[in-house]
Amino acid sequence: MANPMKIRARVDGDVVQVRVLIGHVMETGLRKDAEGKLIPAHYIQLIDVTYDGRSILSAQWGPAVSRNPYLAFKFRGGAKGGKIRVAWIDSTGQTGSGETAVE
């Protein structure tokens, strides 16, 4: 469970609000550790959110997105029970994904 993820999606009228928290270090590559050595860059670069397979948001991130990223947005056309899926890939090639049903 190195990169836990928490997704909440709630429908209100015809709009679904999606909130995503992703466990990720988002290291810039510019920080030094206690011994003064640079900590290598390690951050999410691509993220994609789908609703029942259709992309509802995608993004390119740099190292300036905060550690343990948070993202919230809204889309139309979703309904209770629909499947929200979040997938990401980071600068080291590591990937992660999570899924939830719209409430």
Partner 1 sequence: MEQSRRRFLNSAGVTLVGLMAAAGLLGPDALAAAQWNKAAFAARKLEDLARILGGSAPQQSGDIVFVGPEIAENGAVVPVEITSHVPGTESIAILVEKNPNMLAANFTIPPGTLPEIQTRVKMAETCNVYALVKAQGRFYYTAKEIKVTVGGCGG
Partner 2 sequence: MIAKRRHAAAWAALALAAGLRLCAAADDHTLQEIQKYRQMLQEGNPAELSELRGEELWTSPRGPNNATLERCDLGLGPGQLKGAYARLPRYFEDAGKVQDAESRLVHCMMTIQGMTREQATRDWYRASSDIEALITYLAAESKGEKIDAPLSHPEEARMYSTGRELFFRRSGPLDFGCSSCHSLEGRRIRLQELPDFIERRSAERFMAQWPAYRVSQGAVWTMERRLIDCFRQMRWPEPDYLSDAIVALEVYLQRQARGAVMEAPGIKR
Residue with tokens 């510019």: 30
CB 54 to partner 2: min, Å: 24
Contact between 54 and partner 1 by CB under 8 A: the answer reads: yes
22 counts as binding partner 1 under rule CB under 8 A = no
Instruction: Report residue 12 as tokens.
Output: 């209100």
Exposure letters 78-98 (e unless 16+ CB within 10 A, then b): beeebebbbbbebbeeeebeb
Given 38, 39, 40, 73, the residue binding partner 1 (CB under 8 A): 73
CA distance 70 to 89: 16
3 state DSSP class of 70: strand
Is 9 a binder of partner 2 (CB under 8 A)?
Answer: no
HSE of 69 in the Cβ direction (CA atoms, 13 Å)?
Answer: 24
Tell me if 68 contacts partner 2 by CB under 8 A. yes
Of 25, 45, 82, 83, which lies in the binding site for partner 1, with binding defined by CB under 8 A? 45
User: Which position among 6, 40, 99, 103 is part of the footprint of partner 2 (CB under 8 A)?
Assistant: 6
Return the number of the residue (17 or 52) whose C-beta is nearest partner 2.
Answer: 17
Q: Which residues in this chain contact partner 2 in the complex, by CB under 8 A?
A: 1-2, 4-6, 19, 21-23, 25, 66-68, 70, 72
